[in-house]
Amino acid sequence: MATLTDDIRTSAAQFREFGACERPPRDEDPALIARIRAQVDRWGERLVILAHHYQRKEVVPFGNFIGDSYYLSKMAAQQEKAEHIVFCGVHFMAESARILCRPEQHVYLPNLRAGCPMADMADDVQVDDAWEWLGGFLDTETVIPVSYMNSAANLKAFTGANGGLICTSSNADKAFAWAFERGEKVFFFPDEHLGTNTANKMGIARDRRAIYDPLHAPDDPGPYERAQVILWKGFCHVHTNFTVAHIESARRDYPGIKIVVHPECTEDVVNAADACGSTAFIDKYVKAQPAGSIIAIGTEINLTSRLADEHPDKTIFELSGQNCPLCVNMFRTTLEDLASCLEHLGDRGHDKQIFVRPDVARDAKLALNRMLELK
């Protein structure tokens, strides 16, 4: 799995390569497209391709289902006829699909280097340490773990085994409400910003929140004893690049502009925007704006750029205007990766297949199903 440093280095290189990244390069090689189409035809209903909104523009059209991480996990759980589920997204998404689908189905991630640096900001040892430390002065029976979908399967299993649930950016408030019906405190990891934005939305007082930094474990239990929500200090390096200055400058340059951002952005950005929500929410928000609207989007560049293509009657651009909000991990999956993954479906020892240990899958599924059952 690529490290955060790898990621930042690749990001920087890509930024130099294609400047402000308004239009990430597109690979439309007809030979590759023909190879993929041949496999799609060959497998028919026995194959389902899931594509996240941040995938490259040339990959997205091959998705039988295109959406946010919540929708795609639901689709993975509902496939009756598919023998093979190919997830064009990042590792935690394919792992969740593996956990939610039937045991005899096979799940693949066409490029295994597509990870999520934010998900990697919490590992099982760190979370166990935090839980043990909290248990030194709190009754952890009253603390409900809520883990963001962007986390490894073993953390989802920790959450399931400890009476908690998973959430995505589209249902974090419902997940927090579910947790507060069952306990006094929420322990949320790994995205501090989604946690903060959710606490704001739910009106949780600032002095009832505490940040847990796994790299500088706290020694004073006081703030954690008082807290209603304990937030892991993790972040998405793509979304934390958007600033209030970007919003002010967009509003100055384009009076009447609408600004929509993802809840992995910092709270000041979310508060200054007109709307905030998951990638599916952003897609719907843009569709709902009347022709002639000007919209700046604070999320990953491939979604923004695709929305600009799909809505030529609106002026759509990426909010920062200068940085490159590219998720290099989402960008890793190329048409070549997809073609080669599909051409080997059914092979013994397919090297892009995703496996999750059965005991981990069992507990993680508890936590994922609690999310899918949220009303």
Among candidates 159, 142, 308, which has minimal Cα distance to 232?
159
Is the CB of 70 or the CB of 187 nearer to ligand 13P? 70
Q: Does 264 bind ligand 13P (CB under 6 A)?
A: yes
Is residue 279 a contact residue for ligand 13P (CB under 6 A)? yes
- The pattern of x and - marking residues 232 through 251 that bind ligand SF4 according to CB under 6 A reads ----x-x-------------
We find the least distance from the C-beta atom of residue 184 to ligand SF4, in angstroms, to be: 29
Question: Which of ligand 13P, ligand SF4, none does 260 bind, CB closer than 5 to 8 A by kind?
Answer: none
Q: Which does 98 bind (CB under 5 to 8 A by kind): ligand SF4, ligand 13P, none?
A: none
Q: Which residue has the tokens 């609106």?
A: 314
279 binds, among ligand SF4, ligand 13P, none (CB under 5 to 8 A by kind): ligand 13P
Binding to ligand SF4, residues 146-165 (CB under 6 A): 150
Q: Which residue has the tokens 């039988």?
A: 64
Under rule CB under 6 A, residue 319 binds ligand SF4: no
CA-to-CA separations, 91 to 67, 111, 202, in angstroms, rounded: 16, 9, 30
For 302-367, give the secondary structure using H, E and C.
Answer: HHHHHHHHHCCCCEEEECCCCCCCCCHHHHCCCHHHHHHHHHCCCCCCCCCECCCCHHHHHHHHHH
Helix 91-100 to helix 358-372 angle (10° resolution) is 90
Report the nearest approach of ligand SF4 to the CB of residue 330 (Å): 6
Find the shortest distance in angstroms from Cβ 279 to ligand 13P.
4
The answer to whether 297 and 282 have CB atoms below 8 angstroms apart is yes
Beta carbon nearer to ligand 13P, 35 or 262: 262
Could you say whether residue 236 binds ligand 13P (CB under 6 A)? yes
Q: Which is nearer to ligand SF4, 150 or 198 (CB)?
A: 150
In whole angstroms, how close is the CB of 132 to ligand SF4 at the nearest point? 27
The sign of the torsion formed by the CA atoms of 185, 191, 192, 195 equals negative
Q: Which of 240, 218, 248, 241 is nearest to 230 (CA)?
A: 218
Q: At which residue do the structure tokens 């490259």 appear? A: 56
- By a kind-dependent CB cut-off of 5 to 8 A, residue 117 interacts, out of ligand SF4, ligand 13P, none, with ligand SF4
* Residue in 96, 169, 198, 353 binding ligand 13P, rule: CB under 6 A: 169
Rule CB under 6 A: say whether 337 interacts with ligand SF4.
no
Residue type, 226: R
Within 8 A by CB and 6+ apart from 335, the residues are 27, 29, 32, 33, 36, 56, 58, 59
Question: In the complex, what is the shortest distance from the CB of residue 356 to ligand 13P, in angstroms, rounded to a whole number?
Answer: 19
Instruction: Give the strands of the sheet with 106-108, arranged side by side.
Output: 65-67, 47-52, 84-88, 106-108
Binding site for ligand 13P (CB under 6 A): 53, 68-70, 150, 168-169, 236, 262, 264, 278-279
